Amino acid sequence: MSDPVPAPHRRPVIAGLGITDMTRRIYGRTAPEFAVDAVRLALDDAGLELGDVQGLLTNAGITRGIGLSLQKDLGLRDLRLLSEIQAYGSSAGAMVQYASMAVSSGMVDVVVCVFADAPLQEGGGTGDAYAASRATPAGFSAIPYASGLRGAPSMYALAARRHMDTYGTTSEQFGAVAVAAREWAALNPLAQMREPITLADHQASRRIAEPLHLLDCCLVSNGAVALVITSGDRAAGLRQPPVHVLGWGQAHPGYVRERGSEFGLVSGATRSGPEALKMAGVTIQDVDVAEIYDCFTYTTVVSLEDYGFCEKGEGGPLAASGALGPNGTLRVNTGGGELSSYYLWGMTPLSEAVIQARGQGGARQSARHDVVLVSGNGGILDYHSTLVLSPHPHA
């Protein structure tokens, strides 16, 4: 195998970050409009112009609102790299990986990666937005919906229940994840939900799909996040401190639907985590900040276990110990995560990771941020990506 580390001048760097306002619900704007705003914000952040963009990777959310036509919407000409990427919650990490490979190879110098979605409609429920779009009227894939399952919360409820039955994980332990996320969100001016919550609030929140309560679920949002990926050389003269992409991995387990399946018990992080850390030349003990895809509180628990922040089955007790909050021992989901800041698929953990790696987290900034791990999770634990970011280049 060839050395995965590219020549120093072509090593990939995240040089720009653009996040549309998600501190409130914004209606009446389309996913392409959010995407155009986020890309312009990211380029401004980097100190680059639209004319500098050579590559564009798009990832559409549940409404399938953006795609190749975003090139036209941005007025971009003569792109030398353009694709739609779809790996659900692992897409954000995957886009950074593909962009990093394109930059490292010399194919292009500046690639923009963008996710946008606008599933919320005024007066409609968030669950409705997701469940309706997932409903397929015909064939095998329609059986879960016809049986009464309603999109991601009910499928993750099945996964969470299995974890609880197998390892003794409790709803109160999931609640500790939600409380910790909200404590971080209180420190994050970008977060939508900043009012403190207690474990009692979690337990009293209405049930969505038992065992999951409302406060176990993420904040479906309308908005977009964009990133600018370039080479270390190019980034040196730009506006922001560079964030080096030191390591990456993907893992898509392909669970079988039969006796012996590990569904609900493990995620792809068991594979993508070690791959990404090895490529970065670090171990899990070196990780200063972990930004974990937390579509549900359960997802944080199972991911922390699979990355090795605790033993298998100990994710619940770890959360209940208070380790995840601002006064805890780990630095996890420092912006409040998808549970309390905003849910834009894998862009939520990735955006906060960039902010932390730069040292721009303000009241929520981790004192140590040399190694920042980003976890993306899609499907029902089907698709997984990991990034290792750092303000420092490869040693």
Partner 1 sequence: MPVGPIHRDLPSTAFFDGTARGELLLRRCTACGHLCEPSTMTCPSCTGRTFDATPAAGGGRVVSWTVVHTRNGAGTVRTPVALVELDEGPWLEGQLVDVEPDRISTAMGVRVDFERAEGGEAIPVFRIV
Q: Do 191 and 336 meet the contact criterion of CB atoms below 8 Å apart?
A: yes
Q: Does 209 bind partner 1 (CB under 8 A)?
A: yes
User: Under the criterion CB under 8 A, does residue 137 sit at the interface with partner 1?
Assistant: yes
Piece of 14-22, 93-101, 142-150, 386-394 that binds partner 1 (CB under 8 A): 142-150
Residue type, 107: M
For residue 17 the two structure tokens come to: 């970050």
Which residue, 203 or 261, is less far from partner 1 as judged by CB? 261
Rg (CA), the chain: 20
Residue from 63, 83, 134, 144 in contact with partner 1 (CB under 8 A): 144
Catalytic (active site) residue 383: no
Among 28, 75, 123, 148, indicate the residue that binds partner 1 (CB under 8 A): 148
Of residues 8, 18, 302, the one with CA closest to residue 169 = 302
Classified as helix, coil or strand, 249 is strand
Closer CB to partner 1, 144 or 391, in the complex: 144
How far is 222 from 20, CA to CA, in rounded Å? 9
> Is the separation of the CB atoms in 202 and 215 below 8 Å?
yes
- If one counts every other C-beta atom within 10 angstroms of the C-beta of residue 239, the result is 12
Q: Which is nearer to partner 1, 133 or 321 (CB)?
A: 133
User: Is-catalytic flag, 293?
Assistant: yes
User: Is 149 near partner 1 (CB under 8 A)?
Assistant: yes
CA distance 56 to 80: 9
Q: Per rule CB under 8 A, is residue 379 in the interface with partner 1?
A: no
Dihedral angle at the C-alpha atoms of 66, 55, 392, 269, nearest 10 degrees?
50
Over the window 220 to 259, marking each residue x when it contacts partner 1 by CB under 8 A and - when it does not, the resulting string is ------------------------------------xxxx
285 touching partner 1, by CB under 8 A = no
Q: Which residue of the set 293, 298, 342, 383 is catalytic?
A: 293
- H or E stretch including 221? none
- Interacting residue ranges for partner 1, rule: CB under 8 A: 137-150, 154, 157-159, 161-162, 165, 206-212, 256-259, 261, 263-264
Active site positions, annotated = 293, 343
